[in-house]
Amino acid sequence: MKVLVNNKETELLNGNSIADLAQQLKLPQQGVAIALHNRMIPRAQWAEQILQPNDSLVIIKAACGG
């Protein structure tokens, strides 16, 4: 299934949840936020939030510095 991640087409290989996508992309356990169709999804809901083909996600990683 293909989804858009930060405006880039990405093939979701295993599973169909945000948690599956995070694992596939090897996202860190902390400092990451994910929005689905411009709505932030709490990390506690990643495993239950099922993705559909062509869903649009934005992944935001925290950055240190100034």
Domain boundaries, the chain: 2-61
This prediction has a pTM of 0.90
Q: pLDDT tens-digit profile of 19-41?
A: 999 999 999 999 999 999 999 99
CATH number of 2-61: 3.10.20.30
CA distance 17 to 3: 11
The confidence score (pLDDT) of residue 66 equals 60
Decide if pLDDT at 65 tops 80: no
Separation of CA 31 from chain center:
13
